[in-house]
């Protein structure tokens, strides 16, 4: 475990050094996108009631975490794969999981300020009254981990040239065809049934209920299901990473 933490810390430092010049740009763009989604949604749908506003706000936050974990991260991994950098990393004496975790931390760091901005803009724009739960941070971290787990899985399983296509598909589903920005009831039954097995709606629910906790309390089912997806994603990734040609 000490070895694990040590290599994790050193890999994290390496990653920090690697992105230090781009980090301000990443942060700025990610923050702008997060604020833009809220404003954009309100243009798309002029009359927004309190429930819809809550869905759109938490949806914007969820979509930005999904973008970072399932789109940006796999694309960067695919680039590294094409450059042959993965074989270099594979020859290093560090755990595969530490390597993935050190990567994921960077993406969460990139996403976090954007989330705060989204909340702020939403409160101002929609006059939302929120009751933020202490589970918000764990929820955000878990959703990030789940998104990154699935994202890495895409990056390692799919051929690099196809990664861009698959991630585009993911983002379209997340934005429009997943019960993230609206309740599942609006979907046809079969689609709602499919989403009971996918992580999207649970990610949205976890974020939604922790920024505005329902009277019945924050449901735990989403946390369980996202954890399962995280374990599945990282498990498959780890197997592919350690598989020896």
Residue 209 CB, shortest distance to other proteins, in Å, is 38
Supply the minimum distance, in Å, between the C-beta of residue 54 and other proteins. Answer: 40
Q: Which positions touch other proteins (CB under 8 A)?
A: 7, 10-11, 13-14, 17-22, 80, 83-85, 87-95, 244-245
Measured from the CB atom, is 18 or 186 closer to other proteins? 18
Nearer to other proteins, 46 or 84 (CB): 84
Considering the complex, state which of residue 28 and residue 92 has its C-beta at the smaller distance from other proteins.
92
Distance in Å, CB of 13 to other proteins, minimum: 7
| CB 11 to other proteins: min, Å | 7
Closest distance to other proteins from the beta carbon of 85 (Å) = 5
- CB 155 → other proteins: shortest distance, Å? 16
Give the chain as a 3 state SS string. CHHHHHHHHHHHHHHHHHHCCCHHHHHHHHHHHHHHHHHHHHHHCCCCCHHHHHHHHHHHHHHHHHHHHHHHHHHHHHHHHHHCHHHHHHCCCCCHHHHHHHHHHHHHHHHHHHHHHHHHHHHHHHCCCCECCCCHHHHHHHHHHHHHHHHHHHHHHCCHHHHHHHHHHHHHHHHHCCCCCCCHHHCCHHHHHHHCCCCHHHHHHHHHHHHECCCCCCCCHHHHHHHHHHHHHHHHHHHHHHCCC
Name which of 90 and 186 has its Cβ closer to other proteins. 90
Shortest Å, Cβ 4 to other proteins: 11
Nearest to other proteins of 19, 130 (CB atom): 19
Distance of CA 146 to CAs 26, 150, 188, 193, 242, Å?
Answer: 21, 6, 26, 20, 20
Q: For other proteins, which is the closer residue by CB, 37 or 155?
A: 155
Q: Contact at 8 Å (CB) between 218 and 135?
A: yes
In the complex with other proteins, which residue's Cβ is closer, 22 or 51? 22
């Amino acid at each position: 475990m000490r070895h694990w933490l040590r290599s994790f810390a050193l890999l994290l430092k390496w990653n920090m050094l690697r992105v230090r010049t781009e980090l301000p740009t990443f942060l700025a763009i990610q923050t702008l996108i997060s604020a833009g989604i809220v404003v954009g949604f309100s243009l798309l749908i002029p009359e927004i009631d309190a429930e819809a506003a809550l869905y759109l706000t938490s949806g914007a936050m969820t979509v930005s975490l999904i973008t970072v974990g399932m789109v940006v991260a796999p694309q960067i991994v695919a680039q590294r794969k094409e450059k042959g950098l993965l074989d270099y990393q594979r020859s290093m004496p560090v755990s595969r999981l530490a390597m993935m975790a050190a990567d994921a931390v960077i993406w969460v760091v990139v996403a976090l300020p954007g989330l705060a901005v989204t909340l702020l803009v939403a409160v101002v724009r929609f006059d939302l009254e929120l009751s933020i739960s202490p589970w918000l941070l764990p929820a955000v971290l878990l959703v990030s981990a789940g998104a990154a787990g699935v994202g890495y899985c895409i990056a390692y399983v799919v051929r690099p040239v196809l990664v861009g296509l698959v991630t585009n598909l993911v983002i379209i589903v997340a934005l429009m065809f997943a019960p993230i920005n609206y309740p599942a009831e609006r979907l046809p039954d079969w689609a709602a049934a499919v989403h009971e097995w996918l992580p999207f709606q649970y990610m949205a629910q976890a974020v939604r209920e922790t920024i505005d906790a329902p009277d019945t309390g924050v449901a735990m089912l989403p946390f369980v299901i996202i954890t399962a997806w995280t374990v599945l994603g990282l498990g498959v990734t780890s197997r592919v990473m350690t598989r020896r040609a």
